[in-house]
Amino acid sequence: MRAILLGFALGIAWLQQQARLPGLGVWLACGAVFLLAITLGLARPRVRIAGFATAACALGFAYAAMRAEVRLRPHLPVEYEQRDIELTGFVRGLPERREDGTRFVFEVEANGAGLRDFPRIVRLMWMPNEFAPIPRLLAGERWTLTARLKRAHDNANFGLRDGEAALLESGIRATGSVSASRPPRRLSSDASGPRLAIDRLRARVRERIETVLGDAPHRGIVVALAVGAQDGVSDADRAVMRATGTSHLVAISGLHVGFVAGLAAWLCGFAWKRARFRGMPATLIAPAPNVAALGAAAFAAFYVALAGFNLPAQRALWMLVIVALAFLCGRRPASSLVLLWTLAFVLIVDPWAVTSAGFWLSFCAVAAILHAVAAAGRVETHAQAPHDDDIDEWDRTDPSEVGQRPEPSVKRRPRAWMARFATRVRRHVESGARVQYAVTIALAPLTVYWFSQIPLLGPLANAFAIPWVSMLVTPATLAGLLLPAPLDAPMLHAAHAALSLLCDALAWLADAAPAALWLLPQPDGFALAAAAVGVAWALAPRGWPLRCAAPLTWLPLLAPAQHPAAYGAFRVTALDIGQGSALVIETARHALLFDAGPGPESTHAGERIVAPYLLAAGVRTLDTLMISHSDSDHAGGAPAVLEAVAVRQLLASLPATDALWSDARARRIETLRCAAGQRWTWDGVEFRVLWPEPGPLAGKPNHQSCVLKATNAAGRAALFTADIEADVERVLIARDAEALRADVLIVPHHGSRTSSTEPFLDSVEPRAAIFQVGYRNRFRHPNATVYARYELRAIALSRSDEDGAARLDIGREIVLERFRQTHARYWMER
């Protein structure tokens, strides 16, 4: 059975790695493999396990493909993107309140375009305007509104999670904003249903907590522990928890679900033992343990629903349900079998769960805990085997004293009780340390893969944070949920007070050891596989040979990032950040970031994409951060970059009053305004600034843009032009047209009609050109005429809105890699 369940899960995971959904030939092959494997398994006992596992793998692959076909069927036709479409439907879930508006999920019941396969679930942004403020949206409210939609699209970058997979997992097939062309109308009748009722309850709980706690600094964590909504958690709290490896405490995890289930089981059992029906004890109707098991499962299901059915909570719920059913049936399944059945049920409900970090972290953590507990049980059982020599004299009984009350010992009984208590405490501490060790070891490779870091403070911080949250914060929060107003207020304040003490302790710990956050590059497949072998080796039972050598398998994981370019060559990575610019230039031993993308005023790309990419690529130090000009889509993400990695020099074309200068100086970073004539050489690659003119900045920001040219030892060059326009292009041509010649051109001003003139392209003569543009951006970049101008010159083109990130290795030859081609998945098809 274990092999069958694992095979089914592997088949589902295999489908999620496919570039396109299977056609008729693949379906026939899958069916043939299934029948052949079943036949072999039934006919030949020696290959029965392998045959059934293979058949289960084919079944899982087919099931996931069928679910994907159904999920992808609703779609928004390309010709209807960015057009006003009237939608009628209702609000789902908890609307997310942001600084720039309210983001919410909308279930469409009718569309004004009359399309048959119109997306059933869309995600909308309702931004305020001077004529109509944003109403307070609640789950189930029906609205007729006009929206401008785009197909489900997200940024696609090397080393970062594919956001489109998350949209597909949520069933969101289009995103957009509420249009102000027509005023939205609130309909009189609301939608109903069990899930909407739960969403309304979640909204009332969140509103009550926010009313009671007001502007309390850690209010968002209390809300997250109560209803699973994390949009209110402050950036400061997130930073502290990331640094100390306690981010999992913000989400409703299996730990919290288990606590609720245990408390519910105790309460149900306690009440059932004392209940009577018509004079008959309730325990004669049903045993108390059975009632406790049912109560634990029911309360856990309610709490998971209140949490919004997040993946770790789902996993904990399925495990509880399986254990409860087995208990009611008089069975006691092995822990590994419970975990594998849970894995199968989770993937049946959500086949796309394998694309998320939470799936891997949750299941691997539970597997490590079960392994540690089982190993401890084996050791304890062996250690406690009865031996006559080990029996304490107080456990020996004289046969003549049987049936007589023993004489109390004033001297020795307290001592024996204290010894037994100390032994229990020691065993609990040892068990907790063993579990924490197993979880830390097991999750370290996954943490590096998903987040490019290992918080060395994690074991220490979790040693007191987990019991603190489990024993103080969570019970107080649950009491605040169950008690009516105004009795809930003291409990919510108590939960926040306990959180304040914990957050202060974690912040002190993070400040005391700032270097304890170990930043590592994202591992490749070999390093990850070797680390997985090392984890299994290190957690093997006692007596396993050469366990002390297990850390050697981690060396590829812990090794510094390899230099992406040889001496005299360089690599350019044009990140997909939407509408904006961010390019990473790497030589053999140096790195330069040309622009940092948008910041909090727009898409938070600097924080969400640029900084995480640098960490995933192993760039812990930027030799130069070059900000071409002050437009927010180029400079907005710079503070996030300064916060994430070390920067040695800031080279920028910014006004003297720009806050970025003072921020850099406060961090003791060398600052310099970029000007034509500056040049330097790194590892055989020459860098030369061509614009702007030395002296005071003049004109609009686009006119002040830095223009950088990088030339390798073989004479291959790349030209970075930021947002220069036709006037600057003419000046550069008149000054030195030959200096503009380059093999790779980062297209000026995102391909706007005010740039990329014919004389400029004649001077550059690029062989490849990169357009950094946002998907269906409001500026309509690139301009159709300008794009055609590039196409007519037979230039290799890459657009971030269609290809995702682009990577160019520039040596003697130029190799262009487009992310959506080399990392294609079936949900990227358009």
pLDDT digits (tens, 9 = 90+) for 348-383: 999 999 999 989 999 998 888 887 777 655 555 555
CA–CA distance, 740 with 534 (Å, rounded to integer): 52
CA–CA distance, 665 with 660 (Å, rounded to integer): 9
Residue 428 pLDDT exceeds 60:
yes
Q: pLDDT tens digits for 325-340?
A: 998 888 888 888 999 9
- The strand pairing partners of 594, in sequence order, are 583, 626
Question: Which pLDDT score is estimated for 517?
Answer: 83
Residue carrying structure tokens 């822990």? 335
pLDDT bin (cut points 50, 70, 90) of residue 388 is very low
Residue 305 pLDDT exceeds 80:
yes
Which letter does DSSP use for residue 405 in this model? P
Provide the 10 A C-beta neighbour count for residue 142. Answer: 17
Question: Which pLDDT score is estimated for 356?
Answer: 92
Three-class secondary structure of residue 106 per DSSP: strand
Write the CA distances from 798 to 575, 721, 820, integer angstroms. 12, 16, 11
CA–CA distance, 157 with 822 (Å, rounded to integer): 11
Residues 149/120, Cβ–Cβ less than 8 Å: no
Provide the 10 A C-beta neighbour count for residue 345. Answer: 18
Q: pLDDT tens digits for 22-62?
A: 999 999 999 999 899 888 888 887 788 898 999 999 999 99
Most confident among 76-85, 230-239, 310-319 (mean pLDDT): 76-85
Provide the 10 A C-beta neighbour count for residue 195. Answer: 15
Two structure tokens written together for 713:
């030892």
CA–CA distance, 461 with 243 (Å, rounded to integer): 10
Which among 312, 337, 311, 302 is positioned nearest to 322, based on CA atoms?
337
pLDDT bin (cut points 50, 70, 90) of residue 384 is low
Q: Write the DSSP assignment of 589-652 as a string of letters.
A: S-EEEE-----TTTT-HIIIIIHHHHHHTT--EESEEEE--S-HHHHTTHHHHHHHSEESEEEE
The angle, 0 to 180 degrees and rounded to 10, between the axes of the packed helices 458-468 and 412-451 is 120
Residues 161/612, Cβ–Cβ less than 8 Å: no
CA–CA distance, 315 with 366 (Å, rounded to integer): 10
**What φ, ψ does residue 331 adopt, rounded to 5°?**
-110, 155
Strand 646-647 with 621-622, pairing: parallel
Q: How many residues does the chain have?
A: 830
CA–CA distance, 595 with 637 (Å, rounded to integer): 8
- Average pLDDT of the residues of the chain: 89
Residue 801 pLDDT exceeds 90:
yes
CA–CA distance, 823 with 572 (Å, rounded to integer): 18
| Burial class (CB within 10 angstroms; exposed 0-12, middle 13-18, buried 19+) of 90 | buried
Residue carrying structure tokens 């790194």? 682
Count the helices and strands in the chain (H runs, E runs).
Answer: 28, 27
Q: CB neighbours of 688 closer than 8 A, spacing ≥ 6?
A: 678, 679, 708, 709, 710, 711, 739
Which among 172, 177, 202, 81 is positioned nearest to 125, based on CA atoms?
177
Name the E strands within 180-299. 185-186, 276-277, 280-281
Q: What average pLDDT does range 712-732 have in this prediction? A: 97
CA–CA distance, 724 with 754 (Å, rounded to integer): 9
CA–CA distance, 662 with 656 (Å, rounded to integer): 9
CA–CA distance, 292 with 261 (Å, rounded to integer): 9
Residues 610/596, Cβ–Cβ less than 8 Å: yes
Angle 761-762-768 from CA coordinates, rounded to 5°? 50
Question: Which pLDDT score is estimated for 255?
Answer: 76
Residue 654 pLDDT exceeds 70:
yes
Residues 744/808, Cβ–Cβ less than 8 Å: yes
CA–CA distance, 626 with 811 (Å, rounded to integer): 23
Angle 549-551-553 from CA coordinates, rounded to 5°? 90
Residues 744/765, Cβ–Cβ less than 8 Å: no
If residue 342 lies in a helix (H) or strand (E), which one and from where to where? helix 335-349
Question: Which pLDDT score is estimated for 396?
Answer: 44
Q: Write the DSSP assignment of 736-765 as a string of letters.
A: HGGGG--SEEE-GGGG-TTS--HHHHHHH-
CA–CA distance, 421 with 409 (Å, rounded to integer): 18
Question: Which pLDDT score is estimated for 410?
Answer: 47
Provide the 10 A C-beta neighbour count for residue 82. Answer: 14
Q: CB neighbours of 132 closer than 8 A, spacing ≥ 6?
A: 180, 183, 184
Question: Which pLDDT score is estimated for 635?
Answer: 97
Most confident among 224-228, 486-490, 546-550, 685-689 (mean pLDDT): 685-689
Which among 525, 526, 551 is positioned nearest to 538, based on CA atoms?
551
- The strand pairing partners of 627, in sequence order, are 652
Q: What average pLDDT does range 235-252 have in this prediction? A: 84
**Class of the CATH-defined domain 83-192:** mainly beta
Write the CA distances from 243 to 72, 240, 517, 807, integer angstroms. 38, 5, 6, 31
Residues 557/527, Cβ–Cβ less than 8 Å: yes
**What φ, ψ does residue 756 adopt, rounded to 5°?**
55, 50
The answer to whether the Cα torsion of 402, 407, 409, 415 is positive or negative is positive
CA–CA distance, 244 with 237 (Å, rounded to integer): 11
Question: Which pLDDT score is estimated for 701?
Answer: 93
Question: Which pLDDT score is estimated for 253?
Answer: 74
Instruction: Characterize 227-255 residue by residue with b for buried, 16 or more Cβ atoms within 10 angstroms of its Cβ, and e for exposed.
Output: bbbbebbeeebeebbebbbbbbbbbbbbb
Assign 3-class secondary structure to 206-230.
HHHHHHHHCCCCCHHHHHHHHHCCC
User: Percentage of residues in the chain with pLDDT exceeding 90?
Assistant: 58
Question: Which pLDDT score is estimated for 412?
Answer: 54
Superfamily of segment(s) 570-823: Ribonuclease Z/Hydroxyacylglutathione hydrolase-like (3.60.15.10)
Which among 352, 350, 301 is positioned nearest to 325, based on CA atoms?
301
**What φ, ψ does residue 111 adopt, rounded to 5°?**
-125, 140
Q: pLDDT tens digits for 115-144?
A: 999 999 999 999 887 666 788 899 999 999
Q: pLDDT tens digits for 737-777?
A: 999 999 999 999 999 999 999 999 999 999 999 999 999 99
The answer to whether the Cα torsion of 485, 490, 495, 500 is positive or negative is positive
Amino acid identity of residue 770, one-letter, is I
Residue 403 pLDDT exceeds 70:
no
Question: Which pLDDT score is estimated for 402?
Answer: 46
If residue 361 lies in a helix (H) or strand (E), which one and from where to where? helix 357-383
pLDDT bin (cut points 50, 70, 90) of residue 401 is very low
Amino acid identity of residue 9, one-letter, is A
Residues 104/91, Cβ–Cβ less than 8 Å: yes
This prediction has a pTM of 0.90
CA–CA distance, 732 with 662 (Å, rounded to integer): 31
